Structure 1
Amino acid sequence: MSEDVELALRSRRVVTPEGVRAATVTVADGTITAVLPYEAGVLAVELGDDALLPGLVDTHVHVNDPGRAEWEGFWTATRAAAAGGITTLVDMPLNSLPPTTTVDHLRIKKEAAQGRTHVDVGFWGGALPGNVKDLRPLHEAGVFGFKAFLSPSGVDEFPHLDQAQLGASLGEIAEFDGLLIVHAEDPAHLTDAPAGPAYAGFLASRPHAAETDAIARLLRQARRLNARVHILHLSSAAALPLIAAARADGVRVTVETCPHYLTLSAEEVPDGASEFKCCPPIREAANRDLLWQALADGTIDCVVTDHSPSTADLKTPDFATAWGGISGLQLSLPAIWTEARARGHQLTDVTRWMSARTAALAGLDRKGAIAPGRDADFAVLAPEGTFTVDPARLHHRNPVTAYAGKTLHGVVKSTWLRGQRVYSEGEFTDPKGRLLTRDG
């Protein structure tokens, strides 16, 4: 190995922006220096047929720390991320106490994370009624954008915005060309789910119209203010024509969906299985097919987990009272790859949806690709390997998952952060993650 190369990884399947090819990837000072021919005369770690992917970037994770660390915490969330090939995550501002809605609260959040992250971590700020004055200071402190709800969030300390408040927050954010990321459900269409174990009642309480009407209003505000907006966890395919039309009209809108909407369906949710409960809900298989079409044609930009865990006792068999959130951080890559390969997609598609475009969403220009000048963040995947999901073997804090018992393709063999192996075959190193800011 030459003096200016500290590490080289060789694989017959390196997933680059130009496609999959046999290559040797060299690293120095934590940065990719070259993507060389496979037979380059460099001493390298030999990966054989295991695929070398860019580390995934998950921009929608609820770590809940501090304040609700019994639900999840930085140590456990980032271990689960590393075990799933995720090398960067961006933490949501709610479900922690305090929420990340002021600069002082951001400082408290960073103190909780310091020295406890196995992967790199950034932070979203929050847009609440009455905190417009805090948005610019948070932006200057390095948050990647601002999360807002258009319907009740589920926690009292993070209230939702009405249309006037949305306009005020979005207008302020547009002044510095920030990004507003939005949970878009219209409360006028939401009803209380009937008590009991039946999923159908919960699904009916959050109809397609809740998403389409909220998204239509958000797009009008974004058009009026020339603001950048991102639609979180799109569940309803009925909103796709609105999004496509707005984008064609110049509205600066991006949209994500999640593995659970792409791999699960309402028809398969057993009675009382509230590990499947999330908001907006998992919908019918026909709706899922339309989401896949939109992902393929680019109407949907990216795929993120919306990892929103809780303690097991909050996942009661009653869909009316159970906590709504899917725990999927460690399983997102194999879950998506399993369904994607069955639908004729390639690893290049998966890395585009889960690494390149998520990195672009957050403005992380050193992440998201195996290319010279990028951080040497990698996931080593055995694409043909399979495993059956055992909740007890997952690394997030509480052993609850909607994927329990499913056999998935894609085994993450190791994960590398800036050229250092942080996870391998079930074993972790000491935490090596950094706390990221929007401006580097």
Structure 2
Amino acid sequence: MTDFDLVVRGDRVLIDGTWKRAAVGVKDGIVARIGPRHAEWSATQTVSLATDEVLIPGVVDTHVHVNEPGRTHWEGFATATRAAAAGGVTTIIDMPLNSIPPTTTVAALDAKRAAAAENAAVDVGFWGGAIPASLGALEPLHDAGVFGFKAFLSPSGVDEFPHLSAAQLRAALAETARFGGMVIVHAEDPARLERYAGSRYYEDFVASRPDASETSAIATIISALRATGGRAHILHLSSAAALNQIRGAKAEGLQLTVETCPHYLTFDADHIPDGATEFKCCPPVRDEDNREALWGALVDGTIDFVASDHSPATAELKVGADGDFGRAWGGISGLQVMLAAVTSGAATRGIPLETALSWLTSKPAAFVGLEDKGTIREGARGDVVAFAPGRAWTVDAADLQHRNKVSAFDGRTLTGQVTRTWVGGAQVHPAVPDAPLAGRLIARPALAVQGAAAVDQP
């Protein structure tokens, strides 16, 4: 008999926000013991980290568009979760679009779960959707285990997921407040978006989606929170012009949280070439001063955490429009590179590694109530990552694991490389030949967690 399924020994293990020399023993998917680095334990797999490697909690990415079923040629659970594992992400929460059908009914959620069940290399949870037709009927999806409800205040880009008016957003927040739910919002005001016929000039695209589109939408959200007492989350914040509004709402005690994304923290408008539609996303990447203000807002806590908003499409849709930003699909594939992009950016700004990691691990885990994730402690899930924070590498989109090999990060040199990823103590990157997939289907923590053949309590 061995003591553990996995033991990882390292000189720098992130425990309670500090680096410690330690050994971590995982048994039956759980961190069963943390002890001295040279503890005399036996295990099925024992790994001693190299001197330049650290052991960190698995990343929790709460904003991933997997698109299966219905648009699996854009992305699917098999490819998305392999990309996640390669990037140190051990948990993803899937968005309710751009799959067909969108996750706006329990039947659609069941279809999502069926698609994911046989293909998940990492743990997968699901958001529901709030569209005009689903208002008044959100509670059954909540009871079925979704983590909350995605809503758009501007057109989503797909006909099957229409956006909400300001009045409908208020109704959604009032409805979810009654059963303790949450609405997560794409915050752009369609009345503030400029008429845009399309062009190859990136500056034209940015001008069509000005800061005012975000600040106006966020004002609508804040007003609705005051009126309803609901809980809202602002997705993919791009505009630093909204930060003071957000600070005021938080100081007021409103239930408001905010995320930003690695592309907003990495790129700036002045260095995006005309015709480079791989950089198109909505809201757009803005200027350098804006980017630095977003970093500052992460440091001071105005922005709560970072999520990838991994939103892939086929290469034809993304870069096949002859450089026309009006016709290209808007979305950036960043799931596999998020950890390295954020820690690289933090290092150049003198932000401690452990601080940057909290925006990717413990804080998003707390946001969705997954108290046993995003941390290395006894009793937590054995989701851990061996990471070499000082190793530089250059992103080659052709080598990324997601289905369509297009990425705004292609050719970017990042510092920080994932060397191994374990989910529940099982190695998922590099993949072990013929090993069963380690990913589980997860629900809101009050509900059960589904494995392939059984249901376990979290």
How do 1:398-437 residues align onto structure 2 when only pairs under 5 Å count?
Answer: 398-424=404-430, 429-437=435-443
Identify which of 164, 168, 171 aligns with 2:171.
168
Over the aligned positions, Cα root-mean-square deviation in angstroms equals: 1.4
Question: 2-side partners of 1:28 and 1:288: how far apart?
Answer: 42
Name whichever of 39-48 and 353-362 sits farther off: 39-48
Change (3 A) 1:322 1:61: same
Question: 2-side partners of 1:75 and 1:102: how far apart?
Answer: 23
Q: Could you tell me which amino acid in structure 1 is paired with residue 199 of structure 2?
A: G
1:60-110: CA deviation from partner (whole Å, max 9, x where unpaired): 000000001110000000000000000000000011000000111111111
Identity, in percent, stands at 54
2:29 maps to what in 1? 30
How do 1:213-362 residues align onto structure 2 when only pairs under 5 Å count?
Answer: 213-315=216-318, 316=321, 317-362=323-368
Question: 1-side partners of 2:434 and 2:63: how far apart?
Answer: 23
2:392 maps to what in 1? 386
2:209 maps to what in 1? 206
* TM-score where L is the length of structure 2: 0.93
2:50 maps to what in 1? 48
Identify which of 379, 395, 400 aligns with 1:373.
379
SS in 2 for 1:48: coil
2:93 maps to what in 1? 90
Question: 2-side partners of 1:73 and 1:323: how far apart?
Answer: 17
Residue 436 of structure 1 deviates from its aligned partner by: 0.6
Name whichever of 46-55 and 150-159 sits farther off: 46-55
Change (3 A) 1:343 1:425: farther
Question: 1-side partners of 2:3 and 2:85: how far apart?
Answer: 27
Structure 1's unaligned 5+ residue stretches are none
Residue 134 of structure 1 deviates from its aligned partner by: 2.5
Residue 28 of structure 1 deviates from its aligned partner by: 1.5
Q: Could you tell me which amino acid in structure 2 is paired with residue 226 of structure 1?
A: G
Question: 1-side partners of 2:40 and 2:117: how far apart?
Answer: 40
SS in 1 for 2:387: strand
Instruction: Please tell me whether residue 104 in structure 1 is matched to residue 103 in structure 2.
Output: no
SS in 2 for 1:329: coil
Residue 350 of structure 1 deviates from its aligned partner by: 2.2
Residue 426 of structure 1 deviates from its aligned partner by: 9.7
SS in 2 for 1:330: coil
Contact 2:3–2:41 (Cα < 8 Å) also in 1: no
How do 1:10-29 residues align onto structure 2 when only pairs under 5 Å count?
Answer: 10-29=9-28
Question: 1-side partners of 2:228 and 2:108: how far apart?
Answer: 28
Question: 1-side partners of 2:15 and 2:236: how far apart?
Answer: 27
Question: 2-side partners of 1:149 and 1:53: how far apart?
Answer: 34
Q: Could you tell me which amino acid in structure 2 is paired with residue 29 of structure 1?
A: D
Contact 1:17–1:348 (Cα < 8 Å) also in 2: no
Contact 2:258–2:303 (Cα < 8 Å) also in 1: yes
Instruction: Please tell me whether residue 75 in structure 1 is matched to residue 78 in structure 2.
Output: yes
Aligned residues: 439
1:397 maps to what in 2? 403
Residue 347 of structure 1 deviates from its aligned partner by: 2.2
Contact 2:343–2:357 (Cα < 8 Å) also in 1: no
Contact 2:188–2:213 (Cα < 8 Å) also in 1: yes
